[in-house]
Chain A
Amino acid sequence: MPEDDHRRTIDGTGAAPLVGVGTAVWARSGSAADLEAPPEPATVDPAVERGRFDDAKARAREELERERERTAERIGEAEAAVFDAHRQFLDDPQITDAVADAIADRLPAEHAVRRAFEGPIDQFQETDGTVAERADDLRDVRDRLLRILAGDDGVDLGTVPDGTVVLVRRLTPSDAARLDPDRVAGFATVEGGRTAHAAIFARSIGVPAVVDAGEELRSIEAGATVLVDGDAGSVIVDPTTEQRKRVEVGGDVEIRAAPVSTADGNPIAVDANVCTLSDLEAAIHHGADGIGLFRTEFLFLDRPTPPNEDEQVETYAEVLDAFPEGRVVVRTLDVGGDKPISPPGRPGAEHSFLGERGIRRSLGPDADRFETQLRALLRAEAVGEGSLSVPFPMVSTVGELEAAIAAVESAAGALAEEGVDYAMPELGAMIETPSAALLAEAFAERVDFLSIGTNDLTQYVMAAAREDDRVAHLHDPCEPAVLRIVERAVRAGHSGGARIGMCGEMAADSELTELLIGLGLDELSVTPHSIPEVKASVTGVDTDEARSFAERALEATTKPTVRDYVADR
């Protein structure tokens, strides 16, 4: 191999905004695609194959039990339940019978397994929504059997040496459960979308991850030094010292528990975005000033019925208690887009990013769920310690915002009538659509704060779907149109008298901190692991200089120009 071939970048999709470097190890999950053509039937002994299959099944069952335990311990009972479904698929008579039939037809166990799973996988694949995800679970069970049959014990991801980068064909929930975040420096996959359940696991345990890097990833040999940039979505083989610096800087940043200000004394809150209660610990550990975004839809995912009011009060109060001095922003249910929750009465309905999602559902078909959630939020504010703020997602008209506020008032009225303790939270609006950005002043006059959700705002401004890899290059907060709309929203929001925060990947990029402060943002909410770096950046900023830098960046008309300006700071 020529010398300059060693150092190369493979592009994928970032699944966690973290960077790690380490030694590559391939966790070769078996894959049906890797099977060679079956041998001559005469050479196959069905009794032997039957025994091999039974052994593999027993091994698979043991692994599933172990992984279930580990997941329940580390991530949560709800996430561990996926392994119960896997066990049931493993023991399903429809599968076992089909395997027995295929072995009787003199197919080796591997091929029998592949054939037996084909029908059920197709069957689930054809259905819509959450059921289609079961096809992934079936594939996971199938590939586990194939891996065991191939005689591969699998690399035990829980016992790899410190500083290992795990490369794997697909990021399955099982792989994620086996990952030990203390030892694994990063994770990259050949296939698989960013929104896959397992990618969410990787994010919640804080492992740098790049998914969907394509076949080129397979050319990386075990033992190579690999940098996984879960922020840029790239995998760099044999990175330069320069490139490795980013990792070291990230790793050594001091954790500041107290709120920080710019060099000239302008206080900037740095809060954490969290999905589940298990993220709270990471938020506290990394020095979050508060919670800038609690995504409540994760309370609803993967369960057939929503959590009831009391259960929700308990959860929200727990988040409030975690930040007695701070502010806790709990966003109301944002169903739709990449978070498919089966709507009542409409199984499999489409959750388009441009369709009925966020506040549109809350004011429409999910009005009951919305009411329950609002009651729970108001009750939690009365019992929890910290100060609660509630923004509404996906608002695009003043009418929607007013209707949402009226719903809060009506929930408060009902609680008062019932004699139930409650307190009013601060209310806010998410700026996620271009229309919300353009109406920010009118929004700001009606609420206490605005929060710019850059991931959604970018996709709507650029007309580039978040989940579509083919347009991922357009999904960049440094696009001049995105910068300009952010600037406009901040200015309009301030003149309407609201505080303005930002959550999303743009806020977590510490290279952009100066620019964001220059644009006038008051609060940044980022993934817990990015907090130390963002806080460090804040302390180095001079507000006046940041303002003139932002003015210059706003004049740029191309993304490379903006990136160049940022790189030169």
Chain B
Amino acid sequence: MERIVTVAPEDGLHVRPATAFVRTANGFDANVRVGPADGDLVEAESVLAVTSLGVPSGRAVRIVAKGADAEAALDALEAVLSTPEAKRST
């Protein structure tokens, strides 16, 4: 199961938004991978890996989820990426 989402946070997928993304992904059983829409995917459970993608604001990313709650995981992750104000310390 996969989805293409545009990155809304103005700093792109940098440390804080990436942290929120990874934390959300870890909250699901599904195995989640993420990457640029046209590029290689990395494991979404590693903040280092997600940050190293260097995805800027406004770019599309592909999220691939496998597992029982894959759809719920995709919904939650889409919500994180399309929230322009990344939450501070959640």
Listed in ascending order, the chain A residues whose CB lies under 8 Å from chain B are 77-78, 80-81, 84-85, 88-89, 92-95, 120, 123-124, 127, 130-131, 134, 303-305, 342, 344-345, 347
If A123-B52, A305-B84 touch, whether A88 touches B47 (CB-CB below 8 Å) is yes
A81 CA / B23 CA spacing, docked (Å)? 14
21 A/B residue pairs, CB under 8 Å, sorted by A: A81-B89, A85-B19, A85-B47, A88-B22, A88-B23, A88-B47, A93-B43, A94-B46, A120-B52, A124-B51, A131-B14, A131-B15, A304-B9, A304-B11, A304-B14, A304-B16, A304-B85, A305-B9, A305-B86, A342-B14, A347-B11
B10: which A residues are within 8 A, CB to CB? 304-305, 344-345
* Extra inter-chain contacts (5) besides given A92-B46, A131-B51, CB under 8 Å: A85-B15, A123-B52, A124-B51, A130-B14, A347-B56
A304 touches B17 (CB 8 A): yes
Check: B37 CB closer than 8 A to any chain A CB. Answer: no
A93 touches B12 (CB 8 A): no
Q: Judge whether B60 is part of the interface by a CB distance below 8 angstroms.
A: no
Assembled-state Cα–Cα distance A120/B52 (Å):
9
Of chain A, the residue at the smallest CB distance from B52 is: A123
Residues of A within 8 A of B51 (CB): 124, 131, 134
Closest to A344 in B: B10
Point out the residue from A78, A92, A123, A124 that lies within 8 Å of B89, measured CB to CB: A78
**CA A78 to CA B22, docked complex, whole Å:** 19
Closest to A97 in B: B46
Interface of B is mostly: loop
Nearest-CB residue, chain A, relative to B14: A131
Chain A CB within 8 A of B4 CB? no
| B30 on the A face (CB < 8 A) | no
Chain B's nearest CB lies how many Å from the CB of A82? 10
Q: Does B48 count as interface, using CB distance less than 8 angstroms?
A: yes
Q: Once bound together, how far apart are the Cα atoms of A453 and B36, in whole Å?
A: 46
Chain A residue nearest to B18 (CB atoms) is A88
**A-side contacts of B11, CB under 8 Å:** 304, 342, 347
Nearest Cβ on chain B to A368's Cβ, whole angstroms: 12
B76 at the A interface (CB under 8 A): no
Residue of A nearest to B16 (CB): A304
Q: Please, which residues of chain B bring their CB within 8 A of the CB of A95?
A: 48
**Is A92 in contact with B16, judged by CB distance below 8 angstroms?**
no
A316 to B54 alpha-carbon distance, docked (Å): 36
B88 vs chain A, min Cβ distance (A): 6
Closest Cβ of chain A to B21, distance in Å, is 11
Closest-CB distance, A139 to chain B (whole angstroms): 14
Known A305-B84, A305-B85: A93·B15 in contact at CB below 8 Å: no
Least CB separation from A305: chain B residue: B85
B:1-60 near A, CB below 8 Å: 9-12, 14-17, 19, 22-23, 43, 45-49, 51-52, 54, 56-57
Cα(A347)–Cα(B9), bound, Å: 12
Name the interface residues of B45-90: CB closer than 8 Å to any CB of A: 45-49, 51-52, 54, 56-57, 84-86, 88-89
- A80, A304, A345 — most chain B CB neighbours (10 Å): A304
Q: State how many angstroms separate the Cβ of B12 from the closest Cβ of chain A.
A: 6
CA A203 to CA B49, docked complex, whole Å:
34
Contact check, A92 vs B88: say whether CB atoms are below 8 A apart. Answer: no
Query: A93: which of B45, B52, B56, B88 is its contact (CB, 8 Å)?
Result: B45
Max chain B Cβ within 10 angstroms of own Cβ: one of A85, A92, A342: A92
Minimal beta-carbon separation of B20 from chain A (angstroms): 9
Instruction: Verify A92–B52 contact, CB threshold 8 A.
Output: no
Contact A92 B84, beta carbon cutoff 8 Å: no
The minimal Cβ–Cβ distance linking A209 to chain B, given in whole angstroms, is 26
**Complex alpha-carbon distance, A127 and B48, angstroms:** 13
Find the residue from A78, A84, A120, A305 having the highest chain B CB count within 10 A.
Answer: A305
For B49, the chain A residues whose CB sits under 8 A away are: 93-94
Asked if B14 contacts A89 (CB within 8 A), the reply is no
Could you tell me the distance in whole angstroms from the C-beta of B26 to the nearest C-beta in chain A?
9
User: In the complex, how many angstroms separate the beta carbon of A338 from the nearest chain B beta carbon?
Assistant: 20
- Cα–Cα, bound, A47→B10 (Å): 45
Contacts of A80 in B (CB 8 A): 89
Question: Please, which residue of chain B has its CB at the minimum distance from the CB of A308?
Answer: B85
Tell whether, in the assembled complex, residue B84 and residue A93 are in contact, meaning their CB atoms are under 8 Å apart.
no
Q: How far is the CA of A81 from the CA of B86 in the complex (A)?
A: 14
Q: Taking CB as reference atom, which chain B residue is nearest A133?
A: B15
Asked if A134 contacts B15 (CB within 8 A), the reply is yes
Return A428 CB to nearest CB of chain B, in Å.
31
Write out the residue numbers on chain B whose beta carbons fall within 8 Å of the beta carbon of A123.
48, 52
Closest chain B residue to A78, Cβ basis: B88
Q: Ordered nearest first, which 7 A-B pairs have the shortest CB separation?
A: A81-B89, A94-B46, A94-B48, A305-B85, A304-B86, A304-B16, A93-B46
Chain B residue numbers with a CB within 8 Å of A124 are 51
Give Cα A120–Cα B57 distance, bound, in whole angstroms.
22
Provide the residues of chain B in CB contact with A88, threshold 8 Å: 19, 22-23, 47
Q: List chain B residues, Cβ under 8 A from A94.
A: 46, 48-49
**Inter-chain contacts of A92 with B (CB < 8 A):** 46-48
Residues of B close to A131: CB separation below 8 A: 14-15, 51
Residues of chain A with a CB closer than 8 A to B12's CB:
347
Residues of the A chain whose Cβ atoms lie less than 8 Å from the Cβ of B9:
304-305
Q: Pick the contact of A347 from B14, B47, B86 — CB < 8 Å?
A: B14
- Give CA–CA (A312, B45) in the complex, Å: 35
**Given the complex of chains A and B, what is the CA–CA distance between A349 and B47 in angstroms?**
23
Is the pair A303, B88 in contact by a Cβ cutoff of 8 Å?
Answer: yes
Max chain A Cβ within 10 angstroms of own Cβ: one of B19, B23, B89: B89
CA separation between A305 and B8, bound complex, in Å?
A: 12
- Can you name the residue of chain B whose Cβ is closest to the Cβ of A119? B48
* Residues of chain B with a CB closer than 8 A to A84's CB: 19, 89
Could you tell me if A120 and B19 are in contact, using CB atoms closer than 8 angstroms? no
Bound CA–CA A77/B54 (angstroms): 27
